[in-house]
Structure formats: C-alpha cells, structure tokens
Amino acid sequence: MARGHKTASLFRTTLLYWHTLRHMKAVQFTARLSRKVFRSKPDLRLPPDLRTKTGPWRTPPAPAPSLTDQRTFFLLNQSGIVQCAKDWNTPKRDKLWLYNLHYFDDLRASEAETRTDWQQEMITLWIAQNPPGRGNGWEAYPLSLRIVNWIKWAGAGHGLKAKWKNSLAVQVRFLNKSIEWHLLGNHLLANAKALVFAGLFFEGREAEGWLRKGLRIYAQQLPQQILPDGGHFELSPMYHALILEDLLDIHNLAGAYPGIIGKDVIMQWEQITDAMRDWLNVMTHPDGQISFFNDAAFGIAATPGTLERYAQELGHKPSSPITEGVVHLEDSGYIRVQRGAMVALLDVAPIGPDYLPGHAHADTLSFELSLHGQRVIVNSGTSVYGTGPERQRQRATVAHSTVELAGQSSSEMWSGFRVARRARPRDLECFTEDGALIIRCSHDGYARLPGKHIVTRTWEFRKNRLYIRDWFSGRGVSAIARLHLHPTIKAVLLKDGVHLSAKKDTDVHVKCDGEYISIEKGTYHPEFGISLKNKNIKISPIDEGMDMMIYWDGKNS
C-alpha cells in the first residue's frame, strides 16, 4: 500500500514538472546550467571615472521611508534591526524581506534628507558586511535595484565617497556577469535598467559596454514583453507599474546626460510608456489604486496618479482619459466596463506568457467591481511570496471572485511561482442586446478533470444591475462561485440573497434563484505583510449552472 502511494505521488510530481518545464524557453535551461557550472567572480579593479551631468535631473516618485531609526528598517509592514553581518542574510526572515533590505529604497524615499547620516552609515555598513559575491545582496535582482538607488541618491546631490564608488563599480561588474536569462521577464528588464544607469553614470570604455548591453536587452525584450495594447505580458498591474516607472526613470536620466542615448531610441520608449500609461488607467479602480489580478498589492509600485504626474513632468502629454463604456485590452485579455457610478474589471486573459507564469494566479474569469468609487467585489490580493501554504492559497482559485470546480484551481499552481496545466480563455463574445451589454467567455482549465468540463461565465450589464450566469459542461462535479468582498463591506444573509452595506449611500443586493448561498469568513491582502478580515459570498448550484443578480441603489448609478 505504501509503495503504491509513493508511486502515485511520484507520478503526480513528474506530471507537474512536465507540464511546467515543457513551456520554458531553451535559453532558460541553458542559463540555469551555466549559472551552476560557471560562478561569477568579483572584479575588484578601481572604478571608471564619473560622467559629468549636464542636463536636469527631475525628482522621481518617492516611496514611504523604510529606515525608521538608526539601523532599524520597516519593510513589507514588518520591522527589523541590522545589528551585525548575519542580519543581512538571516534565515529568520523571509527572502523577500531580505531582498528589500538590500534594495536601499530609503535613499529615494520621502524626506530622505532628514536621514542622511543613517543612510551613509548603512551604505558603509553594507559594504563592510556584505563581501563581494556573497549573500542575498549579490543576487542579480537586489543588485539591480540597489545600483539604481545608489545612482539616484548621487544624482540628488549626495557625493559618493571613494569606497562607495569602488563598491558600486564592483556591483555593476558582478551584475554584468549575472544577467537573469534563466528568469527573463521583469527581472531581465531590471537588470537592463541597472546597466543603463551605470553606463550613463560612469564614463569610459567599460561604462560604454554596460550601456550597450543594457540597451541591447531593452531592444530585444521590450517588443516581447510590452504587448501592443500597452500591457506588460506578465499581466500583473503591480509589475506593470514598476516597469513603467523604470522606463520613465531612464528617460529622466537620459535627459541628465543628453546626447548619449539616441533620439530614436528615446522616442520609441516614449511611445511605449504612453501606451503603458493608458493600459494602467484602464486597470485602475476609481479609488486611484491598481486592481488585484495575478501578483498585485499596494505599496510596492508608485500609484498610477504618481506615475502620471512623473510622466508629465518629463514632458509627456496627459494619458487618455477613461470614459463611459467598454474598453477591451485585446492583447492582454482584460475588459473594463464603466457605467455611471459602476466600474467593473473582467479577467478574460491567459495567466501570462507560457514560459514565465511565476506571478500568475488561478483567477481566470474573475472580476472586480467598484460602486461610487468604493471597491465592493475584489480579488484577495497578495501578502506573501515563498513556497508556504498561504502563498499557494492566495494564488488558488478559491481566493478569487470566480468559479471553482471539484475543490481545485483552474490552473495548477504549485510551489511559490510555478504553474503546470493552465486555463486558457476561449470563445469570447462582447455584444449588446435589448439595451444590455453582454460579455461571455469560457475557459478549459477544468478539462483535465473527469468529464472534461468547460466553464463559461456571462456578465450582463444593465442599469443598476449585473446579471452573472456560470455554466459548466457535464454533470457530477461540485462547483462553487465566490464573490470576495472588500473589508469595508458588511454582508447580511437574507431569505432571498445577501444584503451588502457600502459607504457613500449605496446598498447592494446579491440574489440567487435556486442556488445555495452562504457567507464565509475570509481574508483580504492589500499589501505584503497585511491580512484583513473580510466576508465572501459562496454560491453552490443545484445542477450544472448558477445564476446571480447584483443590483444596487444610489445616486448617479
């Protein structure tokens, strides 16, 4: 019996790896092998000279301070102290927290000038306690972000001591040999940004090589990663905003060192950033914050409004305003519907690029709904990375406002950033009928189950009404539709449905005919390190379909 259980477990694990690895690109395999065989060695030569800045440097968006006291950091809503060398890499902390410790984001944070003495001490301490090539701080992603932050700090008028400049050059050289070709995606763009920053900040033959390499990566990757509708192909509004800020930062630095990056390249990037700003506007709720599709949380990227102001300060025209009606981001796979006080964001998208689904969630056919500027129906957000059970739960279908069959996720999420078999949307329709806007889409994520079920969801928008019908082919499978509610929404179960109390004089009702409806306790994760209690509406069908109606009162609805 035990041998049979082990055999079945090994078979399942083999299938997970097969359905995950078969989508990867050859360069990801070869780069992983190369990283194991060839270890980069630090190059400790003296640094190149600094280039003279002749143009204006405009202040980039500033995050909240993270250095809250001498050697005390508040990162991802958790506090920690750096007292000795081991604290930079302690196993007592999550990997993501340690990464953020090595970023040095506080150098560009609001009111940074009031913490200059602490910041200088931490730079000196980091150099002394993080030998070249060793520890979290020398991995390519934190290297990339720290290089940029140190250069931004210098650009803001802080002089670099000789040891700091020496260390910065050693870091750039190590990054230059550690580009994350095994990961690709947003990591690769972060590497490229750091090389471009260093190539402009320093001068000479070595710096020119960094600059050329960074520009080559951008020239190769931007056409792949930025879709024609302006969306970043990992389909996370949070990472989209980070990459948009990166491109604006390079525009900013190119202006500080004019004439080095060609005008044609800058013009091409301006067109890309303009499209990205329009995309971000579509994916933003009326409260001014991003929607929660795939890995997304507040407090990591600058807000859409902050990025818009930054772009205009750099000379960009205002982005396209959002108006009444429907916006279909066809290449990304999201739809925005805005009618009066109602804004709905619908996910009819693939989970992301096949070879890079690390930030994907099993959220196919989920949606978010705002009324009178307030979020009502949400996806649950992201508060942790890593490989633990809470990370897996937050990526699962159960944490999203969509349909779950047989207690399984629509895409096979496993480990912290892996996906095996994945749902693929199909048969999308968008049309009007009898004054109603109707959007219908199916996905095949549950075709792997016995019965080969196809799930179809229809949204029908009418004045003050949203009708939702979920249908799945075949019988004999348990199904649950969930509506996750924002923590500010109170829910009361009635005989004919659920009454929701929202702010701003809006009452919302969820009614189901012939279904089992209940209210569950849940959690909502607006930021890393934060879990808030909320309520979820759970709907189970009597047969192979579910119907619900969401209707609301309120002025200008």
Give the tens place of pLDDT for each residue, 414-434: 999 999 999 999 999 999 999
533 shares its domain with 424: yes
C-alpha span between 466 and 39 (Å, rounded): 57
Is the CB of residue 392 less than 8 Å from the CB of residue 523? no
Residue 48 lies in a domain: no
Residue 219 lies in a domain: yes
413 shares its domain with 484: yes
Residues of the chain under the 70 pLDDT cut: 1-8, 504-505, 514, 542-543, 554-557
What pLDDT, on a 0 to 100 scale, did the predictor assign at position 541?
81
Is the CB of residue 464 less than 8 Å from the CB of residue 436? no
315 shares its domain with 330: no
C-alpha span between 324 and 445 (Å, rounded): 32
Q: Domain of 300: which CATH number?
A: 1.50.10.100
Write the Ramachandran bin of 505: left for phi over 0, alpha for psi from -120 to 50, otherwise beta. Answer: left
Token pair 């990757």 is found at: 221
Instruction: Provide the domain limits for residue 290.
Output: 179-321
What pLDDT, on a 0 to 100 scale, did the predictor assign at position 505?
66
What pLDDT, on a 0 to 100 scale, did the predictor assign at position 1?
45
267 shares its domain with 386: no
Residue 476 lies in a domain: yes
Last residue of some domain: 297, 321, 345? 321
Last residue of some domain: 265, 286, 321? 321
Residue 434 lies in a domain: yes
282 shares its domain with 388: no
Residue 518 lies in a domain: yes
309 shares its domain with 449: no
What pLDDT, on a 0 to 100 scale, did the predictor assign at position 477?
86
Is the CB of residue 329 less than 8 Å from the CB of residue 425? no
Last residue of some domain: 321, 341, 370? 321
Burial class (CB in 10 A: 0-12, 13-18, 19+), 351: buried
336 shares its domain with 187: no
What pLDDT, on a 0 to 100 scale, did the predictor assign at position 110?
94
313 shares its domain with 350: no
pLDDT in tens, 323-374: 899 999 999 999 999 999 999 999 999 999 999 999 999 999 999 999 999 9
- The CA-CA-CA angle for residues 514, 517, 465, to 5°, reads 75
Residue 39 lies in a domain: no
Q: How many domains does the chain have?
A: 3
Is the CB of residue 437 less than 8 Å from the CB of residue 504? no
Residue 74 lies in a domain: no
365 shares its domain with 216: no
267 shares its domain with 371: no
Joined tokens for residue 200: 């402009």
Residues 6+ apart with CB under 8 A from 334: 231, 235, 282, 283, 293, 328, 345, 346, 347, 348, 349
pTM (global) more than 0.85: yes
283 shares its domain with 215: yes
386 shares its domain with 527: yes
Q: Domain of 340: which CATH number?
A: 2.70.98.70
H/E stretch holding 37: helix 26-37
Residue 296 lies in a domain: yes
